[in-house]
Amino acid sequence: MRKEYDIDKLNPRPNPYAKELKKPVSIKLPVVVIEYFKTEADRTGIPYQTLINLYLMECVKENKKIDTSWKKAG
For the whole model, what pTM was predicted? 0.67
Please report whether residue 67 resides in a domain: no
Average pLDDT per 10 consecutive residues for the chain, totaling 74 residues: 71 76 92 98 97 96 92 70
Q: In Å, what is the CA distance from 19 to each residue of 25, 45, 49, 70?
A: 17, 27, 20, 34
CB 71 within 8 A of CB 63: no
Number of domains in the chain: 1
Question: Could you tell me the residue range of the domain that residue 34 belongs to?
Answer: 29-62
Residues 6+ apart with CB under 8 A from 21: 15
Please report whether residue 19 resides in a domain: no
What is the phi/psi pair of residue 16, to 5°? -70, -15
